Structure 1
Amino acid sequence: MPLTLKAVPCLRDNYAYLIHDPASGRTAVVDVPEAEPVLRALAQSGWTLTDILITHHHDDHIGGVESLRAATGASVWGANADRHRLPPLDHGLSEGDSVAVGGALGQVIDVPGHTVGHIAFHFPDSHLVFTADSLMALGCGRLFEGSAAQMWDSLTKLMALPDETRICSGHDYIKGNGAFALSVDPDNAALHDRLTALEAARAEGQPMAVATLAQEKATNPFLRARQSYLKSRHDRETSTDLEMFAYLRDLKDRF
């Protein structure tokens, strides 16, 4: 039975994600920008939190971890490589390790670039991957610690997942990311259609940071860095895919 997903808006534009295994009753949260919205969502759903999964060390992803742990007694999971700057971990993780939420098994993927210790959680049977600030809706995270090569390698790993995988990213940056995507890929009909659909979804209060990998491949300029037509449009026909990605990332930083 697939996990039940609930996106929880936090702070100004962050998301935490609750994932619930109906068979066992176990429930995990991926990232905790603040505790109160997560506690409210748990109470509304009638779920009991058992696990806290952390993607990276930034305060807007871990700021509520200690309060939530104190309120629920949940176990905390995070990257061994970032243990020194995360809340105290009950379980340290490295790439290839597994995390169980009841009967659902998630795989840990190293996705450095935004930070050097960033990890993602992929639950293949539920077609979910939690990418936080690596692969984002219509974008990717700024390179605060890692290099363009690291981020491109991370995005390449994520692009290899099945197209039906739902990408659950950490922020609603749709407005800025969408405007940038249009500026570099204005003739992309799929992009125009997606932005129109997102505006309608926003009006209905739907979460903005979840999309399938197929949608991201069709509309996210950073995943389209390997497309020859996009390279030609920017007079970069001889650029490697990595060079084109780095060029786009630099454009976005100055956008």
Structure 2
Amino acid sequence: MPLEIVTVPCLSDNYAFIAHNPVTNDTAVIDVPEAGPIQSVLEARGWELGKIFITHHHSDHVGGVEELRTHWSPRVIGAKADAHRLPALDVEVEEGDEIMIGGEKGRVIDVSGHTMGHVAFHFPGSDAVFTADSLMAMGCGRLFEGDADTMWKSLSKLAALPQDTIVYSGHEYTAANARFAMTVDPENPALARRSGQIEAARAKGDATIPSSLAEEKETNPFLRAGDPAIRSGLGMEDASDAEVFAEIRRRKDNF
């Protein structure tokens, strides 16, 4: 049975995700921007928190870890490469390592770029990948520490996951990302349709997270650096995919 995954809005535009194994009753949370909303969901459902998975060190992803640790004493899992600046870890992981929520097996993917040491957590049995600020709905994270080549390689790993994978990313940035996407991929009918759906959802106050990997590959310009129409529009027909990605990221930074 796949994990039951609950999207929890936090802070002004962050998301945490609670993953519950209904067979074993094991429960984990992926990233903790703040403790209160997560604790409220756990208590309302009667779930005991056993694990915290951390994607990267930024405060809007780890700010509530210690409060949850005090309340439930969960095991905290994060990247070995980032351990020096994460909350104290009980388990340090690297790319390819196996992780578990109850009997559900997942694996760690190094998705450095936004930060170095950023990881994603892929649970293929539940068709779920938790990407935080690497691959985002209609976008990707700013390159605060890594370079464009590093981020392109990270996004390419995620793009290679099965098409039906659901992407659980860390922020409600989708509407702004869609507006930018239209400037570099204006002739994409799938993008036009999705942009309209996003506007309608946000007008009702609905979340646009999670999204499917299939729709990201159809509409997210940061995964589409090889698309001939985008390359032509940028005047970069002969550039490498990484170079095209770098130009898209540069334009988004100045959008």
TM-score range, shorter chain: over 0.9
After superposition, what is the alpha-carbon deviation per residue over 1:24-49, rounded to whole angstroms, capped at 9, x for unaligned?
A: 00000000000000001111222111
2:229 corresponding residue in structure 1: 229
- Structure 1 residues 48-127: aligned runs within 5 Å: 48-127=48-127
Residue 226 of structure 2 aligns to a residue in which SS? coil
1:149-192 deviation per Cα after TM superposition (whole angstroms, max 9, x unaligned): 10000000000000100011000001211110011111111111
Specify the alignment match of 1:188 in structure 2: 188
- Equivalent residue, structure 2, for 1:210: 210
Question: SS state of the match for residue 121, structure 1?
Answer: strand
Following the alignment from structure 1 to structure 2, what is the Cα–Cα distance between the partners of residues 197 and 41?
A: 28
Question: TM-score scaled by structure 1?
Answer: 0.98
The corresponding residue for 1:33 is 33
2:138 and 2:216 in contact (8 A); partners too: yes
Structure 1 equivalent of residue 9 of structure 2 = 9
Q: Does 1:161 align with 2:192?
A: no
Structure 1 stretches of 4+ with a deviation exceeding 4 A read none
Give unpaired runs (5+ residues) of structure 1.
none
Partner Cα separation in structure 2 for residue 104 and residue 199 of structure 1: 35
Distance 1:49 1:205, change over 3 A: farther
Aligned equivalents of 1:210, 1:233: Cα separation in 2: 29
1:197-236 deviations in whole A, cap 9, x for unaligned? Answer: 2233334543222111000000100101111121012211
Which has the higher mean CA deviation after the structures are superposed, 45-54 or 149-158?
45-54
What is the alpha-carbon distance in structure 2 between the residues aligned to residue 133 and residue 141 of structure 1?
5
Structure 2 matches for 1:140-179, cutoff 5 A? 140-179=140-179
Normalised to the residue count of structure 2, the TM-score between the two structures is 0.98
Q: Is the 8 A contact 2:28 2:52 kept in 1?
A: yes
Contact preservation (8 Å) 2:175, 2:202: no
The Cα shift of 1:12 comes to 0.4
CA distance in 2, matches of 1:129, 1:188: 26
- Residue 52 of structure 1 aligns to a residue whose secondary structure is strand
Q: Aligned equivalents of 2:37 and 2:207: distance in 1?
A: 14
Q: Which runs of 5+ in 2 are unaligned?
A: none
- Count the aligned residue pairs: 255
Q: Which residue of 1 aligns with 2:239?
A: 239
Q: Percent same amino acid among aligned pairs?
A: 55
The alignment partner of 1:66 has SS state of: helix
Offset at 1:17? 0.3
